[in-house]
A = this chain, B = another copy of it.
Amino acid sequence: MPEYKVPMRDTQFVLYELLKGEAHYEKLGASDATRDMIDAILTEGAKFCEQVLSPLHQAGDQGCTFKDGEVTTPPGFKEAYAQYVEGGWPSLSASEEFGGQGLPESIATVFSEFVSTANWSWGMYPGLSHGAKHTIDKFGTDEQKETYLTKLISGEWTGTMCLTEPHCGSDLGILKSKAEPNEDGSYAITGTKIFISAGEHDMAENIVHIVLARLPDAPEGTKGISLFIVPKFLPDGTRNVTCGSIEHKMGIHGNSTAVLNFDASKGFLIGPPNKGLNCMFTFMNLARLGSAMQGVAAAEQSFQGALTYAKDRLAMRSLSGPKAPDKPADPIIVHPDVRRMLMTQKAIAEGGRAMIYYCSMLGDTIHRSQDEAEIKQAEDLLSLLTPIAKAFLTETGYEATNLGMQVFGGHGYIAEWGMEQIVRDTRIATIYEGTTGIQSLDLLGRKVLMSQGELLRNFTKIIHKFCQAEADNADMKEFAEPLAARNKEWGDVTMQIGMKAMQDREEVGAASVDYLMYSGYITLAYFWASMAKTALAALAAGTSEQDFYKAKLATAKFYFQRILPRAEGHKGAMLNGAETLMALDPEHFAFL
């Protein structure tokens, strides 16, 4: 199993040098968030992730056990959670009013990357609490906050979001769970919810479920869904929600995926009736960034494993002459194709890290800025970048895990090396929290086209200015020129698709996934060009860390030369339109 080391130097590069985190926090009035403070927190957090969570990762693959309605998590999970609560980690960025430490969300995001990479399945237990916390923080009554939020922030309780039912996942409009009013003002919730991650476990005293259900008089479709707080145990200790079973699944075995049965379970309305989906959308972006993180975390974890192996494993001689003449063969890292795989993983992990931290800092601005124009700009940008980050980083993160396994050859397929577990664990990331298809419709349909391209122009303007500013910088030419060209093209092809979509609405869905991937490659190019600029500046200033910045620059070059060309394939496919997709009658897909 690859031993996880927190990439602290790279984290600092992104946080302080690329994204100028110190100035960002100061501007937002987060005066506690000094570099010394942040470094101290992250160093402590790194220890916990490396020493406590990472060693539990592989054994966690043995899975949870379900017996008589109770779930037992893998050995060590519960104890690690106690340490996590003890260390105050759940409350890092929570509001001080309810016991939190009040740090900016983006600092918690950095820590959550460490947790995610060390042990994704474990990290889902506290991670799933976010949705419940946000819902109660934003829409709860004072009493609901007092009862539930403080416990969620301290970590004594965990939370879930209960959306999916057996017959509906992406299409929540057809959900059936019912909420009947009780005499005491509460509601009796009845229905079955499936795929509830962290829905039942033994790590905390209580679980606060936020459940989507319909009031008796609710309109049909998405406009008739309300939110309810439904605790596993009521204040008097009564069991209120039961777990019917947990799923046997491809990966993330350490996390329980529960079937929850609500049988007139007592629930409490939160937020306005029938506005449940609207309420959820207010923090959907942040939840989706949480899933995007799985792609980055998986790429990093798999990269670390593959790199160690590639330096160690001997096979064949380098085509340009032996590199380890004293050994029976050269380490496989000498071979160009092994390097191609490693560099691809590295470019995804480091580039994705930059993308997610950037998004997370937009979140800080949204929550803390006093400047409405600045908030609007951050909201618009985050709104555009979220589906890109979620779908593109989980798709490429999954690719990275497959490459890491491939570096190991046959050994990659064997469980004991731990590389195939990363592939299995990561495969869900392109599905939950909105599939790649759903994210792509969100990006192209809802965000780009419904805003008449405005949300896209917000971002392409930033890229345009960046490229213009670097136009006279000879060292940046290899990045700024192709980026500027792609950036202009992005607008052009969007226009073309938009025109076609006015004739035929199927063109949106037909182009969507290729459009998202195309957009992702350009977005990541922007981050890599920015990182190249930062690295060049450090080198020009005579940094003592020559190797670090040169490696960063080399990775940027790799990305532009060897990865960005993929955009061309997606462009070609998406511009070829819907016709060949829509041609066949469903009965003519196969003649069996």
Which residue on B lies nearest to A409, using beta carbons?
A: B169
Q: Are B562 and A580 in contact (CB under 8 A)?
A: yes
Q: Within the complex, what minimum Cβ distance (angstroms) separates A14 from chain B?
A: 13
A432 to B169, CA, bound (A): 37
| CB–CB A561/B580 < 8 A | yes
Q: Are the C-beta atoms of A590 and B307 separated by less than 8 Å? A: yes
User: Within A381-434, which residues are at the interface with B (CB < 8 Å)?
Assistant: 402, 405-406, 409-410, 412-416, 420, 423-424, 427-428, 430-432
Is A281 positioned at the interface, with any CB of B under 8 Å from its CB? no
A337-B512, A588-B550 known; A319 and B414 CB under 8 Å? no
Chain B residues with CB below 8 A from A303, complex form: 590
Given A437-B337, A589-B342, answer yes or no on A167-B580 (Cβ-Cβ < 8 Å). Answer: no
Contact of A406 among B168, B431, B508, B566 (CB under 8 A): B431
Chain A residues 92 to 122 lying within 8 A of chain B, measured CB to CB, are none
Known contacts A249-B414, A337-B510, A565-B572; A589 and B423 CB within 8 A of each other: no
Q: Are A581 and B416 in contact (CB under 8 A)?
A: no
Q: Is B566 in contact with A329, judged by CB distance below 8 angstroms?
A: no
Neighbouring B residues of A316 by C-beta, 8 Å: 170-171, 173
Instruction: Assess the A509–B569 pair: CB atoms within 8 A.
Output: no
A4 and chain B: residue at smallest CB distance: B592
- Chain B, Cβ-Cβ closest to A13: B591
Q: Is A504 an interface residue (CB 8 A)?
A: yes
Given contacts A320-B504, A506-B320, contact A581 B336 (CB under 8 A): yes
Chain B residues near A409: list those with CB within 8 A: 169-170, 431, 435
Q: Does A440 contact B (CB under 8 A)?
A: yes
Question: Which residues of B lie under 8 Å from residue A431 when comparing CB positions?
Answer: 406, 409-410, 412-413
CA of A329 to CA of B170, assembled, Å: 12
Interface membership of A586, Cβ < 8 A: yes
Establish whether residues B315 and A169, one from each chain, have CB atoms under 8 Å apart when the complex forms.
Answer: yes
A436 to B341: give the CA distance in the assembly, Å.
Answer: 12
Q: A201 an interface residue at 8 Å Cβ cutoff? A: no
Identity of the chain B residue whose Cβ is nearest the Cβ of A586 in the assembled complex: B333
List the one stretch of A68-76, A127-135, A145-153, A551-559 in contact with chain B: A551-559
- Which residues in window 7-60 of A have CB below 8 A to B? 7-10
Q: Interface 1/0s, chain A 172-203, versus B by CB < 8 A?
A: 01100000000000000000001100000000
Interface 1/0s, chain A 545-583, versus B by CB < 8 A?
001101100100110011101111111110011111111
- Are the C-beta atoms of B581 and A562 separated by less than 8 Å? yes
- List, in ascending order, chain B residues with CB within 8 A of A311's CB: 586
Given A413-B427, A510-B336; A505-B590 close (CB under 8 Å): no
A573–B581 CB distance below 8 A:
no
Q: CB-CB contacts of A423-464 with B at 8 A, as 1s and 0s?
A: 110011011100111001100000000000000000000000
**In the complex, chain B residues whose CB is within 8 Å of the CB of A579:** 557, 561
In the complex, A262→B269 CA distance in Å?
70
Decide if A78 is an interface residue (CB 8 Å cutoff). no
Expressed in whole angstroms, the Cα–Cα distance for A560 and B578 within the complex equals: 13
Within 8 Å CB of A432, what residues of B? 410
Q: Pick the contact of A592 from B5, B314, B589 — CB < 8 Å?
A: B5
Q: Which residues of B contact A477 (CB under 8 A)?
A: none
- Tell me, rounded to whole Å, the shortest Cβ–Cβ distance linking A482 to chain B: 11
Contact indicator B415/A329 (Cβ below 8 Å): no
Contact of A304 among B248, B406, B590 (CB under 8 A): B590
Given contacts A415-B249, A436-B406, A569-B566, contact A505 B319 (CB under 8 A): yes
- In Å, the complex CA distance between A194 and B310 comes to 20
**Complex: A551 Cα to B440 Cα, angstroms:** 27
Question: Once the chains bind, are A406 and B428 in contact (CB under 8 Å)?
Answer: no
CB distance from A161 to the nearest CB of B (A): 14
CB-defined contacts of A368 to chain B, threshold 8 Å: none
Residue of B nearest to A546 (CB): B588
Asked if A223 CB lies within 8 Å of chain B CBs, one says no
User: Contacts A307-B589, A423-B427 hold; do A195 and B508 have CB atoms under 8 A apart?
Assistant: no
A250 on the interface (CB 8 Å rule)? yes
- Known contacts A409-B435, A582-B339; decide if A562 and B566 are in contact (CB<8 Å): no
Choose from B167, B194, B573 the contact partner of A566 (Cβ within 8 Å).
B573
Query: Which of A173, A311, A567, A588 gathers the greatest number of chain B CB atoms within 10 Å?
Result: A588
Docked-complex contact A591 and B171, CB < 8 angstroms: no
Q: Which residues of B contact A402 (CB under 8 A)?
A: 427
Shortest beta-carbon distance from A398 to chain B in Å: 8
A247 at interface by CB-CB < 8 Å? yes
Complex Cα distance, B592 from A7, in Å, reads: 5
A551 contacts which chain B residues (CB < 8 A)? 584, 588-589, 591
**A513 close to B (CB within 8 Å):** yes
Are A565 and B576 in touch, CB under 8 angstroms?
yes
Closest A-B pairs by Cβ, 6 of them: A565-B572, A569-B569, A336-B509, A171-B315, A250-B420, A561-B576
Chain A: residues with CB nearer than 8 A to chain B? 5-10, 164, 167-171, 173-174, 194-195, 247-251, 303-304, 307, 310-311, 314-316, 318-320, 328-329, 331, 333, 335-340, 342-343, 346, 402, 405-406, 409-410, 412-416, 420, 423-424, 427-428, 430-432, 435-437, 440-441, 504-506, 508-510, 512-513, 547-548, 550-551, 554, 557-558, 561-563, 565-573, 576-592
**Could you list 28 examples of A-B contacts with CB < 8 Å?**
A168-B315, A174-B315, A194-B410, A248-B415, A248-B416, A249-B413, A250-B414, A250-B423, A304-B592, A307-B590, A320-B506, A333-B589, A337-B440, A339-B581, A402-B427, A406-B435, A409-B435, A410-B431, A413-B431, A424-B424, A547-B585, A547-B588, A548-B588, A551-B589, A554-B584, A565-B569, A565-B570, A565-B573
